[in-house]
């Protein structure tokens, strides 16, 4: 069975991601569940730093409530792990457990789970690496960062570069970029 792919339609164009259900089933399934539920539709990229990454997935960018970068999934919501077939429940604040298993590096165009820096603090936010950020690997002991890779952009790298060019050193974008929809290929 091949890994699922999804088309991400943004206000700047489309790109396709492959989710590593074979290597990171829990984290990939969390993202897939949110995408299939329409959670990401209408959410804006809220932090883009050229030669680093594009961050996305905070619901506060859609509804204007709260500070962008601090929101997550609906508390106690569930998703099906496509690896083991079991249903898992997110925490009372929407967080999910860290999946620190497959040693996949934060290479260019990979999708990685964003978190607060504390264990088990990820939820819906993720980032797309635009350079090799090995210092973010959970198995790299140069920093305490632990950001597991769970997918990769497999088509539309030009769109990622276009969005990256709208960013700044402080992460603010010169133009709003919205995720219109995410659909399975």
pLDDT above 80: residue 127 = yes
Give the pLDDT band of residue 20 (cuts 50, 70, 90): very high
pLDDT above 80: residue 150 = yes
Tell me the pLDDT tens digit for each residue of 25-54.
999 999 999 999 999 999 999 999 999 999
- Are 43 and 31 spatial neighbours (Cβ–Cβ below 8 Å)? no
3-state secondary structure 22-59: CCCHHHHHHHHHHHHCCCCCCCECCEEECCCEEEECCC
Q: What does the pLDDT read at residue 3?
A: 98
* Cβ neighbours around 119 below 10 Å, total: 12
Q: What does the pLDDT read at residue 69?
A: 82
Cβ burial of 50 (10 Å; 0-12, 13-18, 19+) is middle
- Are 151 and 19 spatial neighbours (Cβ–Cβ below 8 Å)? yes
* Mean of the per-residue pLDDT values of the chain: 96
Q: What does the pLDDT read at residue 144?
A: 86
Instruction: Write down the H helix ranges in 37-156.
Output: 60-63
Tell me the pLDDT tens digit for each residue of 56-100.
999 999 877 778 888 899 999 999 999 999 999 999 999 999 999
Cβ burial of 143 (10 Å; 0-12, 13-18, 19+) is exposed
Region 106-116: mean pLDDT is: 97
Q: What are the residues whose beta carbons fall under 8 Å from the beta carbon of 123, sequence distance 6 or more?
A: 57, 72, 73, 90, 93, 94, 95, 96
- Cα 69 from Cα 137, distance rounded (Å): 20
């Amino acid at each position: 069975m091949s890994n699922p792919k999804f088309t991400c339609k943004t206000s700047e164009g489309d790109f396709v991601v492959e989710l590593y259900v074979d290597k990171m089933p829990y984290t990939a399934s969390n993202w897939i569940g949110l995408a299939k539920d329409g959670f990401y539709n209408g959410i804006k990229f809220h932090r883009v730093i050229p030669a680093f990454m594009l961050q996305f997935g905070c619901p506060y960018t859609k509804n204007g409530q709260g500070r962008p970068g601090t929101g997550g999934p609906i508390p106690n919501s569930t998703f099906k792990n496509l690896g083991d077939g079991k249903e898992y429940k997110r925490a009372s604040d929407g967080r999910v457990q860290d999946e620190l298993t497959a040693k996949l590096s934060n290479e260019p165009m990979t999708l990685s789970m964003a978190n607060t820096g504390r264990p088990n603090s990820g939820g819906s936010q993720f980032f797309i690496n635009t350079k090799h950020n090995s210092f973010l690997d959970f198995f790299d002991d140069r920093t305490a960062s632990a950001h597991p890779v769970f997918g990769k952009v497999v088509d539309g790298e030009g769109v990622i570069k276009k969005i990256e060019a709208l960013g700044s050193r402080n992460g603010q974008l010169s133009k709003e970029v919205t995720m219109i929809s995410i659909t399975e290929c």
